[in-house]
């Protein structure tokens, strides 16, 4: 049985920027930008991956690769929210069975705001997923599904009781042959009796043991302590023995702050590679939880470890024997000359019913703010390096602020744009607004640019023609506060009004300094 997923197809695909590769080694992260909780699978000679999209739409970005190192984004698992859900789209899990493509995913239930696990199915590659609703509504929280087959029987496992006043458990249940229903009573695989955290499990069988590779400690934020643990058992149902040498993979070295929550895939020569997320040390932490790849082995003592050592590292031995194509970090530019948005664009769906239209080579952005949002619709891309600039041209005038943003959420953002006849720069922190600059415009249709240094320091510019730039006379703004607990801020476009009007943009460009 092979595990896989496919997305609804989107007209534009793009190459995800990665470090240059060569035959002897590759460099982590293998995908740049904030894509936590990756799930990876293989189908024939192709690998597929998806990950958490959290409070950004579309839902669950989907990637393909021929070598696990160089990836291309194809689209998303969902372009619309499943009817039962509200937000917090976390930890999708991919599976392929009997010619059908499955995605088990975590989201908050609309009726009560509790995180549960749903399932969606695509009948064949190229078709959109049909959602079958929640499959696990157990306890006060159920997240992080994983599917395992043992001697023809399907099992699903998940993290439970994260919000109850009791230890976290990894629970499991038999799964129906069509993958859509639980069968029998859930049972305990592993208990977090140390109360250090337990989630993001990956289960496999090798030799005489079943192994649970899981994440412990704190998942998120720049003080994250995430690491990778392992336990084993001679039976799937347990009891499981935790390894005395845990953690088997962690941050704390020169390259990464923390790492965890992933799945593994076997390559053609039998080696196993584990894809999880990690925060990097230094300014690259502002890229968020980025997917990293490490070779995973089972030692002669029957315990899992990683070939490059206990500490997650950038430099890794090659996945394939053949020479891997070199690819460098790429810039991004959208001239709005396609009829649909490219797959790289994301928007703030919990806070705006966004309305994006492309016509005559321009983009019109508006929406209806929701959930107490005073700052409209953000249309953003993932940052892939800590040193970059991004720019646009504003084509229309109205009384609504429209322009560029560094966007964390509806209460934490930087807004730089045109409002009436003025050029406004404002900071919004925990919902409190501060005007940093209010100045005149250079021309009727100004060009605007934000320059980002070390991932967090922002300088602001305007221009008549987009060539010679005049800096706005304010000190560099520290935007660290825009990073949220479970995600980092994204650069992009902002229309801070409602659907009665719009912001019109002629292009968007992001240039990496790397």
pLDDT tens per residue across span 30-88: 999 999 999 999 888 889 899 999 999 999 999 999 999 999 999 999 999 999 999 99
Looking at residue 322, its pLDDT comes to: 58
Q: What Rg value do the Cα atoms of the chain yield, rounded?
A: 23
Omega before residue 88 within 30° of 0, cis: no
Looking at residue 23, its pLDDT comes to: 44
CA-to-CA dists, residue 139 to 161, 168, 194, 435, angstroms: 6, 11, 21, 45
SS3 category, 252:
coil
Q: What residue spans of 403-510 are helical by DSSP H? A: none
Cβ contacts of 244 within 8 Å, gap of 6 or more: none
| Lookup: tokens for 429 | 């922190």
Looking at residue 385, its pLDDT comes to: 97
Residues 172, 194: contact at Cβ < 8 Å? no
Element (H, E) at 330: none
Nearest to 214 by CA among 223, 206, 204, 224: 204
Calpha distance 433→79 (Å, rounded): 32
| Lookup: tokens for 431 | 């919902």
Looking at residue 327, its pLDDT comes to: 61
Calpha distance 66→414 (Å, rounded): 39
161: left (phi over 0), alpha (psi -120 to 50) or beta: left
Calpha distance 512→514 (Å, rounded): 5
Nearest to 383 by CA among 315, 451, 468, 477: 451
Q: Which residues of the chain have pLDDT under 50?
A: 1-23, 326
Calpha distance 179→5 (Å, rounded): 14
Residues 21, 475: contact at Cβ < 8 Å? no
Written in H, E and C, the secondary structure of 108-131 is EECCCCCEEEEEEEECCCCCCCEE
Looking at residue 128, its pLDDT comes to: 82
CA-to-CA dists, residue 258 to 134, 218, 509, angstroms: 31, 9, 31
pLDDT tens per residue across span 266-317: 999 999 999 999 999 999 999 999 999 999 999 999 999 999 999 999 999 9
Share of the chain above pLDDT 90, in %: 87
Nearest to 329 by CA among 287, 288, 293, 295: 287
Residues 406, 389: contact at Cβ < 8 Å? no
């Amino acid at each position: 049985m092979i595990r896989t997923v496919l997305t609804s197809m989107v007209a534009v695909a793009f190459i995800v920027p990665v470090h240059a590769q060569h035959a002897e080694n590759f460099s982590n992260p293998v995908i740049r930008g904030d894509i936590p909780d990756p799930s990876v699978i293989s189908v024939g000679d192709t690998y597929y991956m998806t990950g958490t999209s959290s409070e950004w739409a579309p839902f669950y970005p989907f990637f393909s690769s021929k070598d696990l190192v160089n990836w291309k984004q194809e689209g998303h698992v969902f372009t619309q929210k499943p009817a039962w859900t509200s937000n917090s789209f976390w930890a999708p899990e991919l599976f392929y069975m009997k010619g059908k493509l499955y995605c088990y995913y975590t989201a908050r239930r609309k009726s009560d705001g509790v995180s549960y696990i749903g399932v969606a199915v695509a009948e064949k590659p190229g078709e959109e997923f049909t959602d079958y609703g929640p499959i696990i509504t157990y306890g006060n929280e159920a997240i992080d599904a994983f599917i395992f087959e043992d001697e023809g029987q399907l099992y699903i496992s998940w993290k439970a009781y994260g919000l109850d006043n009791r230890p976290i458990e990894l629970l499991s249940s038999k799964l129906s042959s069509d993958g859509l229903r639980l069968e029998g009573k859930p049972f305990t695989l592993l208990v977090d009796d140390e109360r250090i955290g337990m989630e993001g499990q990956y289960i496999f069988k090798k030799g005489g043991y079943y192994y649970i590779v899981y994440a412990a400690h704190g998942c998120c934020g720049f003080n994250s302590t995430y690491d990778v643990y392992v336990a084993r058992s001679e039976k799937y149902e347990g009891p499981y023995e935790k390894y005395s040498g845990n953690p088997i993979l962690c941050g704390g070295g020169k390259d990464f702050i923390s790492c965890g929550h992933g799945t593994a895939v076997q390559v053609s020569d039998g080696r196993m590679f584990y894809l999880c997320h990690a925060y990097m040390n230094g300014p690259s932490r502002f890229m968020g939880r980025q997917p990293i790849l490490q070779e995973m082995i089972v030692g002669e003592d029957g315990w899992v470890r990683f070939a490059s050592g206990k500490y997650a590292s950038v430099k890794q031995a090659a996945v394939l024997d053949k020479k891997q194509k070199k690819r460098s970090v790429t810039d991004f530019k959208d001239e709005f000359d396609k009829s649909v948005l490219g797959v790289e664009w994301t928007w703030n769906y919990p806070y705006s019913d966004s309305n994006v239209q492309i016509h005559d080579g321009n983009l019109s952005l508006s929406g209806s703010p929701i959930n107490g949002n005073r700052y409209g619709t953000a249309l953003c891309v993932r940052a892939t390096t800590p040193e970059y600039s991004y720019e646009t041209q504003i084509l229309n005038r109205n009384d609504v602020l429209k322009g560029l943003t560094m966007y964390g959420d509806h209460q934490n953002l930087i807004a730089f744009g045109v409002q009436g006849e003025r050029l406004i720069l404002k900071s919004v922190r925990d919902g409190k607004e501060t005007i940093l600059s209010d100045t005149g415009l250079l021309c009727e249709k100004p060009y605007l640019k934000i320059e980002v240094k070390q991932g967090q320091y922002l300088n602001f510019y305007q221009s008549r023609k987009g060539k010679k730039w005049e800096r706005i006379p304010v000190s560099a703004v520290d935007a660290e506060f825009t990073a949220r607990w479970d995600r980092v801020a994204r650069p992009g476009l902002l229309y801070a009004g409602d659907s009665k009007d719009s912001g019109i943009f002629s292009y968007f460009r992001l240039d990496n300094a790397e």
